[in-house]
Amino acid sequence: MTSAGNAAVFTIGCRLNQADAALICTRLEEQGWNIVRPEYEGRIDLMIVNTCTVTGTAASKSRAAVRRFRRKHPECCIVVTGCSVEIENSDWIREEAADLILTNPEKKNIADLIIKHLEHKSISTGRKFSLEQPVEVFKEKAAGHFPFKSRAFLKVQEGCNNFCSYCIVPYARGPERSRDWEEVVSDFKQFLADGFEEIVLTGVNICAYNDNGRTLTDLLRTLSALPGNFRIRLSSTEPHPNNMELLEVMRDNPKICRFLHLSLQHGTDEILKSMNRKYTAAEFAAFIEAAREAVPGIHIGTDIIVGYPGESVELFEQGLKFIREMAFANIHIFTFSPREGTPAAKLKDRVDGRECDRRRACLSTLAADMKRGFIESQLGKELPVIFERKNQEGSFYGWSDNYINVICDDPTVHKNTITTVLAEETLPDGSIYAKLV
């Protein structure tokens, strides 16, 4: 096949967007495009910007990326897709002179749509896009290909029905639907055949996976029973009744990483209620306790929003106390930013910007302490690690199953294979120095 030209895919945002980007790469390669990195210095003929709009910062990063690519590659065809397209008025995309705008559902046919666009040289910005009819089970009809990564992301689910009051995702990604079971299993096997040692299952709300009664835990049992030396990581999960069963599967199966990123968002019932979250702080705490009991050494990370409307100083302090008790290994901190079209954007009792910064700084300090505590708790333990890179001094860098950055100087280390090490010492950058067992 003759090459259609050089194409690059630039992705912002969550692991689901990264899984989408991999699928886009596959579809473009099937059409004869040669995939290069976005920072490639040579000619790029086609640039896909896969945007995110979950926070205001992500939206402005999307815009800056389009502008940068237009400046650096004035002749290239720029296609903008992803959540910014679904949510925002497309004026900024048009102003940045993008050539084509595609919605999330249109990503499936991205290669054909680009070809059509290039054939007709028609600039389609400004046209009205319609969302596909929601379906419960969907097929991608392509396996994601990760040209420059050692870890693969496998999309198993799309959309969300929860409508948390601050979140734009249900509007951007549509209702919950699960990817066809057979297709997921087949893609997973393909990733194993391609030599990936870690496969991350992604989705907006992967605990909601359900293909005709077959749930996420069924999927995990099936995938982890496949032969081979590999591990499965779950991307962020939402508190959900299924999660207790998830702990059992994790406990019984070492192929599933001891890792949960479980969004708490706030540590008080008042704010959780206002956010339309479906659990109380006590229920969340009970789950965390059960997780630690079932899976010793588990990494539990979370997302927290500071400065949500109505978060008084007292509620912030109360939330902080709860967060401290949870001893998270990692916290992604977000300052509340109103997303137009969500109920929270209309809430009055806003927290002043400087006060938000103060709260964010308090929480960052606490997060750093808790992270250190978690890492120190692993000293003297054996950790399964996949080493991914080697620096010029000969040190190997990798990640443990419970998501600690591990460094090892042993020259006999093999990259990209699961290796057991003994955690010996913490380093100032938050990693662990280890030796081979």
Q: x/- binding map, residues 4-33, to ligand SF4, per CB under 6 A?
A: ------------------------------
- What one-letter code names the amino acid at 25? C
CA-CA distance, 359 to 206, in Å (whole number)? 30
* Closest distance of CB 240 from ligand SF4, Å: 9
- Token representation of residue 427: 């380093």
Q: Which is nearer to ligand SF4, 90 or 237 (CB)?
A: 237
CB of 176 to ligand SF4, least distance (A): 9
Among 22, 164, 298, 434, binds ligand SF4 (CB under 6 A): 164
* Encoded amino acid at 209, one letter: Y
In angstroms, the CA 400 to CA 420 distance is 9
Binding range to ligand SF4, per CB under 6 A, among 1-9, 15-23, 161-169, 406-414: 161-169
Residue with the two structure tokens 């096949």: 1
CB 244 within 8 A of CB 216: no
Nearer to ligand SF4, 169 or 323 (CB): 169
Q: Which is nearer to ligand SF4, 217 or 265 (CB)?
A: 265
CB nearer ligand SF4, residue 40 or residue 163: 163
Q: Which stretch binds ligand SF4 (CB under 6 A): 26-34, 111-119, 157-165, 211-219?
A: 157-165
CB of 389 to ligand SF4, least distance (A): 32
170 vs 384 by CB, closer to ligand SF4: 170
3-state secondary structure 176-242: CEEECHHHHHHHHHHHHHCCCCEEEEECCCHHHCEECCEEHHHHHHHHHCCCCCCEEEECCECCCCC
| Closest to 363 measured CA to CA, from 334, 342, 403 | 334
At 5, is the secondary structure helix, strand, or coil?
strand
Burial 94-131 (b: 16+ CB within 10 A, else e): eebebbbbbbbbbbbebbebbeebbeeeeebbeeeeee
Of 22-30, 39-47, 149-157, 165-173, the window that binds ligand SF4 (rule: CB under 6 A) is 165-173
Q: Which of 109, 150, 162, 242 binds ligand SF4 (CB under 6 A)?
A: 162
* Identity of residue 253: N
Nearer to ligand SF4, 190 or 215 (CB): 215
For position 160 contacting ligand SF4 by CB under 6 A, the verdict is: yes
Q: 394: how many CB neighbours lie within 10 A of its CB?
A: 10
Shortest Cβ distance from residue 424 to ligand SF4 (Å)?
38
Instruction: Find the binder of ligand SF4 among 147, 163, 283, 346 (CB under 6 A).
Output: 163
3-state secondary structure labels for all residues of 97-142: CCCEECCCHHHHHHHHHHHHHHHHCCCCCCCCCCCCCCCCEECCCC
204 interacts with ligand SF4 by CB under 6 A: yes
**Contact window for ligand SF4 (CB under 6 A) among 65-73, 155-163, 350-358, 390-398:** 155-163
Residues in region 230-249 near ligand SF4 by CB under 6 A: 238
Burial degree of 55 (CB within 10 A; 0-12, 13-18, 19+): middle
Size of the site for ligand SF4 (CB under 6 A): 10
213 C-beta neighbours (distance < 10 Å), count = 6
Q: For residues 102 and 164, which CB has a smaller minimum distance to ligand SF4 in the complex?
A: 164
Task: State in angstroms the smallest separation of the CB of 162 from ligand SF4.
Answer: 4
Say whether residue 85 binds ligand SF4 (CB under 6 A): no
The helix/strand/coil state of 162 is coil
Nearer to ligand SF4, 160 or 385 (CB): 160
- Min dist CB 427 to ligand SF4, Å, is 34
Taking alpha carbons only, the member of 314, 300, 304 closest to residue 270 is 314
Judged by CB, which is closer to ligand SF4: 8, or 172?
172
Nearer to ligand SF4, 160 or 315 (CB): 160
Within 103-142, the residues that bind ligand SF4 by CB under 6 A are none
Give how far Cα 334 sits from Cα of 13, 126, 203, 314, 357, Å.
13, 32, 20, 19, 10
- The region of 78-86, 144-152, 158-166, 425-433 touching ligand SF4 under the rule CB under 6 A is 158-166
> How far apart, in whole angstroms, are the C-alpha atoms of residue 168 and residue 300?
25
Q: Which chain residues interact with ligand SF4 by CB under 6 A? A: 160, 162-164, 167, 169-170, 204-205, 238
